[in-house]
Amino acid sequence: MPLSGKRVVLGVTGGIAAYKSIEVCRRLVDAGAHVIPVLTDAALNMVGETTFRALASEPPKTSLWSDSETIPHTHLGQTADLIIVCPATARIISDMRTGRSGDLLSATLVATEAPVIVCPAMHTEMWDHPAIQENIDVLASRGVTIVPPEEGRLAGGDIGKGRLASPEAVVDAAIGVVGSGVTVDLSGRSVLVTAGGTREPIDPVRFIGNRSTGRQGHAIADAAARAGAEVTLITTSALPNDARVQRVEVATAAELHAAVTQHATSADVVVMAAAVADFTPAATAEHKIKKGDGVPQIVLVPTVDILADLGTRKAAGELSALLVGFAAETQNVADNARSKLERKGADFIVANDVAAPNTGFAYSTNAVTVFGRDGSERPLSLRSKAEIGTELCAIIAAQLSSN
């Protein structure tokens, strides 16, 4: 299990989203973690201690003063492998920035050298407030992993940015931070990652797409950011990403190509995890095609092979980035991967058999083999996409430092 043997302090603060931290607690335990919940007074107004008592690995802790230990915050801070604040209110984020330590959770956060993940949840106006954004930037610059809030329905029925990230995203971040046990250093490197499946429009309501969700690409971008790289993520996906990542949103293969072309020249690494359409409709109908108009004849034209284009430019000396491609295959995985390595001029091809159980599109786990131009072959057996992201970054870091 990806979090086996890890002591995780789950700090819960008093936002409406506190109820979701119960699911996070359960999933962390399922992933093998030893979970110690720390609830603030405000959190206790939202959720009950009993629920955490039933689900966590230890009874929840709620006060600096009431537990049998005399100095619980230093004990918690010193022994934790990871602290997750979920949900994180504007108050705890501000406390973390200034080092205020008025309750058990904030004191533990000051008394630790363990990695910290913060999962903000609040109303859009509060999230957008310059004080909060500035505090988030400061925490991120100190190495805190921010799992940003999503757009969605908020307390009181409002809709906007501020909804707590999904429990799955929070646990993925935890696995990414401490799961693999691999330490990667990509500081000073610039990494460009593409993610998700492109959508080629047929008319204003229909498109040709594919099953890629962007999960593996986002996990790679997040892992590279945690490793200290300057990361640009070009994505078609609505999934969240680490707050340190610069995100560029695109939809079509042509948009992806344009964005990659713009950013690739200055990159040390380009990871093409996106599932790019090989064909696109020659024309997009201006209005919705109506059934009564008869069976539409959609003429397709090829798209640019972006990775092959980068390979050609690299061979011509126009860019120097390490090129990492993906190959989602359903048969002859190794042969297809090796031929893509050559055909596209890539340095690595990360191949997976999407027909194998629990791998590929939409799963939280993956199993891949990384084929190198130098003939190397590194199998990464079934594990979380977050761990695959970290392992791949380790391979990339090793290759960059040997170049």
* Residue 75 exposure: Cα atoms within 13 Å on the Cβ side: 10
Count the Cβ atoms, other than its own, within 10 Å of residue 98: 11
By beta-carbon proximity to ligand CTP, the closer residue of 165 and 276 is 276
Surface-to-core class of residue 44, CB atoms within 10 Å of its CB (0-12 exposed, 13-18 middle, 19+ buried): middle
CB of 254 to ligand CTP, least distance (A): 10
By beta-carbon proximity to ligand CTP, the closer residue of 56 and 327 is 327
Alpha-carbon distance of 175 to 112, in angstroms, equals 19
Q: List phi, psi (to 5°) of 84.
A: -115, 125
DSSP states of 72-103 as a string? HHHHHHHH-SEEEEEEE-HHHHHHHHHT---S
By beta-carbon proximity to ligand CTP, the closer residue of 86 and 253 is 253
By beta-carbon proximity to ligand CTP, the closer residue of 40 and 303 is 303
210 is catalytic: yes
Q: What's the CA angle centered on 239, arms 233 and 244, to 5 degrees?
A: 45
Helix (H) or strand (E) holding 44: helix 41-46
CB of 297 to ligand CTP, least distance (A): 23
Which residue, 145, 182, 177, is CA-closest to 396?
182
CB of 353 to ligand CTP, least distance (A): 12
By beta-carbon proximity to ligand CTP, the closer residue of 27 and 344 is 344
* Catalytic-role residue among 135, 210, 241, 352: 210
Return the bridge partners of 116, or none: 83
CB of 339 to ligand CTP, least distance (A): 9
Given a contact cutoff of 8 angstroms between Cβ atoms, the answer to whether 333 and 324 are in contact is: no
By beta-carbon proximity to ligand CTP, the closer residue of 64 and 272 is 272
Structure token pair of residue 171:
């646990």
Which residue, 325, 318, 198, 302, is CA-closest to 250?
198
Binding site for ligand CTP (CB under 6 A): 253, 272, 274, 276, 278, 303, 305-307, 325-328, 340, 344
Cα distances (angstroms) measured from residue 15 to each of 24, 86, 136, 341 = 15, 9, 17, 49
CB of 23 to ligand CTP, least distance (A): 33
- Any idea which residues carry the catalytic annotation? 210
